[in-house]
Amino acid sequence: MVGLRVKKIDNRDALLMIFRKGPNKELEADSIEVRRMLGLKEDGTEFRIVYGSMPTSDTEIALLTRSISEVLTDISSTVQVPGQDVTEQRVPPTVEPEGEGIKGTMIRILCSKEKPGDDFADVPYRNQWFWIDDRDYRSKKLFSTLMFIMTLTETGGKEGAPIVTISAGG
């Protein structure tokens, strides 16, 4: 019942949250309650998502988020890095998680000298391979979500595919 769409508003791309009509009265009532809790116009269907701590009207949803750079920096702290790179002070050591969940590893990016055989994504860098195991659903899901977010935040032309650089180890 809720979707996201990019739409041109004032010659700029805007991100909208769209509330569709419910297939039944119960879901429609839930949809109205969500809008009420968010302080939105209860009978509205399109709401502009803006960066900030406070909306300017009942047709806006204000989100105060981290920058994509801050998100990638946090994620990069758990990338498995070669010991030699730590010794040479090229990168800080990999942060060891305290457990699973919010404080645990968000994404597992592994490192090896040999090209991985069962990888979801891989990249060679400085005679090493950094990769996500194809059996690691959680990491694949986060990586795919990050790639999607990167395409939403793209502002330039469409000359080529986005390039993601993740600082290994922080």
Q: Where is average pLDDT lowest: 50-59, 73-82, 147-156?
A: 147-156
Tell me, yes or no, whether 59 and 79 share the same domain.
no
| 164 occurs within a structural domain | no
Q: Are residues 49 and 78 in the same domain?
A: no
Residue recorded with tokens 């309650």: 33
Per-residue confidence (pLDDT) for residue 162, from 0 to 100: 55
The confidence band for 160, taking pLDDT boundaries of 50, 70 and 90, is low
Query: pLDDT for 84-110, tens place per residue?
Result: 888 999 888 887 766 555 556 778 888
Q: Which of 13, 41, 63 is the last residue of a domain?
A: 63
Same domain, 52 and 104: no
Domain count within the chain? 2
- Element (DSSP H or E) covering residue 85: helix 83-87
- DSSP type of residue 122: E
Residue with tokens 């949809």: 31
Q: What pLDDT does residue 141 have?
A: 93
Residues 76 and 50 grouped into a single domain: no
SS3 110: strand
Residues 63/49, Cβ–Cβ less than 8 Å = yes
Q: 149 and 74, same structural domain?
A: yes
Answer left, alpha or beta for residue 113, where phi above 0 means left and psi between -120 and 50 means alpha.
alpha
Both 145 and 74 in a single domain?
yes
Q: Is there a single domain that holds both residue 42 and residue 14?
A: yes
Q: What is the mean pLDDT of residues 22-33?
A: 88
Question: 95: number of CA atoms within 13 Å, CB side?
Answer: 17
DSSP letter, residue 42: T
Choose one of 29, 63, 97: the last residue of a domain: 63
Domain assignment of residue 55, yes or no: yes
- Residue 28 within a domain: yes
87 and 132 in a single domain? The answer is yes
Residue 73 belongs to what domain range? Answer: 68-153
Instruction: Identify the band that residue 3 occupies on the pLDDT scale cut at 50, 70 and 90.
Output: confident
User: Domain check: are 54 and 81 in the same one?
Assistant: no
Task: Place 83 in a pLDDT band, splitting at 50, 70 and 90.
Answer: confident
User: At residue 48, does pLDDT exceed 60?
Assistant: yes
Whole-number pLDDT of residue 9: 84
Distance CA 109, CA 92 (A): 15
